[in-house]
Structure 1
Amino acid sequence: MKLTSTYFYFVFSIMLLITSCSSDDSINIDEEKPTITINYTEGFPQACEQLIKGETYTFKALVTDNRALASYSLDLHHNFDHHTHDDQGETCNLEPLKEAVNPLIYMENFNIEGELTTYEINISITIPNDIDTGDYHCAYSVTDVTGWQSRTSIDIKIID
């Protein structure tokens, strides 16, 4: 009897171990970053675009993800020191280095509601009349629901 009881507990323990270690197909690890592009007809601004002070522009970028998008941001900042960003594509002719006196600085974050896999960023901004003209960067970023992030940055100019 003692041997049968020990054998039963041994077999039961092995079965419990096997069933507790089974794979769960519902758990999938997301290994894809979202994508972001301005390289389409409505994408704005394009590299080396000149924006005029006092004018209103609609900044547009297309973002996609294999699961769901969570948030995005737009960052406009001066490039008077000629810095670059890792993902920056085309580089425009830069003006001489200069000190910022009253540069445009725009940084906003936005949520994407629902479980969308495609979204068009669409932000209307009026360029103030009292800012420094010159070289700027327009940087978009997007984050998906699992935390992956992508960025893209382009050179633009603000002129009178």
Structure 2
Amino acid sequence: MKNKFIIAVGSNINSPEGFSPIKNCNKAINELSKFNIKIIQKSSWYLSEPIPKSSQPKYYNSVFLCNSNHNVNKVLKIIQIVEQKFGRLRVFKNMPRCIDLDIISFNGNVKNSLLLKIPHPRMHLRKFVLLPLFEIDAHWLHPLLKKNIKFFLEKVKYQKIKKLKID
């Protein structure tokens, strides 16, 4: 059975190898295919302010739709392997990062474990997730809050975000 899931990707610093945030993110997304995760659709890139507000550089963000035969725990493990390969450090919360991959949705289900919460617990508060998600699934419904994506976008319209004209 194919599982359908949505992953958000973001970065605000160059990779240890010197790749730009978008290039490093694209390389990480392509790496997922080596683990039998198929990218079905990808949103545009967006530039956003860090949350919480800080002096960090702005973030480059995108969302992509995937499918795979892997279960959600296996996908999480793969994502963590890919993040580590592409330079992700976890020293302190909300630190700048060269790669960040988050499972936003998995088959439209809810998961609440120590290691993983789906949907992502703050995704509905973050325009940098919602706007790219709206681009690839305008009818997405939050499985816990039972609200559609347009509802959440209205709540975060004050957050500054810019759609970029790049691949």
- TM-score bracket for this pair, using the shorter chain length: under 0.3
Q: What's the TM-score, normalizing by structure 2?
A: 0.26
Which one has a larger percent strand, Structure 1 or Structure 2?
Answer: 1
Which structure's CA Rg is the greater one?
1
